[in-house]
Structure 1
Amino acid sequence: MSQSGKPRRGGDRAEGHVFDGVDRRILDILQREVDRPVTSIAEEVGLSPTPCWRRIKRLEETGVIRARVALVDQRLANVPMTVFISVKVPSHAKTWLDDFRALIEAIPEITEAYRLTGDVDYILKVVVPDIAAYDLVYKAMIERMDFSQISSSISMEELKFTTALPVDHL
């Protein structure tokens, strides 16, 4: 229901908020060009600048937009090698997980980490300049924690990389 008591139309609910096609188009634009002027975004989505700005602020306040960041070129940052580390753990205790979280936070080369279902417990994405730097990350991990198994795969080619999420489900 809207504040007037009438049912809302044209939008889906996410965390109790209604988002419509205009919000989705705004998100699509911002995911491609975060520094694009509000006036340009407003023109493209068919709004005047002030209502467009209000929608962007609402997307930020509701947490749909978590942050605005700069994407750094991996090669130019001298970390061209991507390694995926599959980890099997000896314990699923909360203390082990807390220690593991602290470990992955302490190693800046670990850029992503996920807990999984299936045969592997965790997968980590590591970016490094070369195999010697990866070896240092590996040694830092095994010095601090016990693992049942660690398996590494070096990426040969990046076929797709995007930070843009599909917004059709919002």
Structure 2
Amino acid sequence: MSKVDLDRIDRKILHELMRDATIPVAQLAERVGLSQTPCWKRVQKLEAAGIIMGRVAIVDPAQIGLGLRVFVEIEAPDHSREWRAEFRAAIAEFPQIVEVHRMAGDVDYLLKVAVADMAAFDDFYLQLTRRLPCRNVTSKFSMEVIRDTTVWPIDTVTA
């Protein structure tokens, strides 16, 4: 996807919405220096362009019984189109996988997994490794979340 040119007002709108998507449009407009109608039209334009991908509630995983976060590194047995398609199909079957990244370096894929506890992770691990052939699977357990944000560092001063 190509980068879209955003002016300072668009960046301010995004900054405010990343911090709180429930902000009333009147308050948003005031914070970015617009009246309500032009502000709302800009929000709609940002949504239509796919820059704003959705508005969601950010939930504390521990509060809903998902207290263990695990980063799973996967090395593919090969880099064929068939294996990649199988990988995509397999990860779609596991709601415990909340992020997937194709990596450069020693590891081919990095998965972020959210589960209740070690027993739940063991069950997930067994199911995943039965479902998908991998050369190597390494799991790293998060002991403490120091920072976890959905607010991207957008420049609101220049542009």
Please say whether Structure 1 and Structure 2 have the same fold, judged by a TM-score greater than 0.5. yes
Aligned to 1:150: 137
Match status 1:83 vs 2:49: no
Gap regions ≥5 residues in structure 2: none
Scaled by the length of structure 1, what TM-score is found? 0.88
Aligned to 1:98: 85
- Partner Cα separation in structure 1 for residue 101 and residue 2 of structure 2: 23
Greater relative contact order, per chain length (Cα 8 Å cut-off, separation 6+): 2
Q: Which runs of 4+ in 1 moved over 6 A?
A: none
Match status 1:29 vs 2:8: no
Aligned to 2:118: 131
The equivalent position to 2:53 in structure 1, one of 49, 66, 69, is 66
Q: How many residues align?
A: 157
- Partner Cα separation in structure 2 for residue 87 and residue 110 of structure 1: 13
Aligned to 2:7: 20
Match status 1:115 vs 2:127: no
The equivalent position to 1:53 in structure 2, one of 40, 51, 72, is 40
- TM-superposed deviation, 1:124: 0.4
Q: Percent identity?
A: 41
The two structures, once aligned, show a CA RMSD in angstroms of 1.6
Distance 1:60 1:80, change over 3 A: same
Deviations 1:92-140 (A, max 9, x none): 0111111111111110001001110100111100001100000111011
- Partner Cα separation in structure 2 for residue 32 and residue 51 of structure 1: 20
Compare CA radii of gyration and give the structure with the larger one: 1
Which structure: greater helix fraction?
A: 2
Distance 1:95 1:165, change over 3 A: same
- Partner Cα separation in structure 2 for residue 30 and residue 88 of structure 1: 37
Gap regions ≥5 residues in structure 1: 1-13
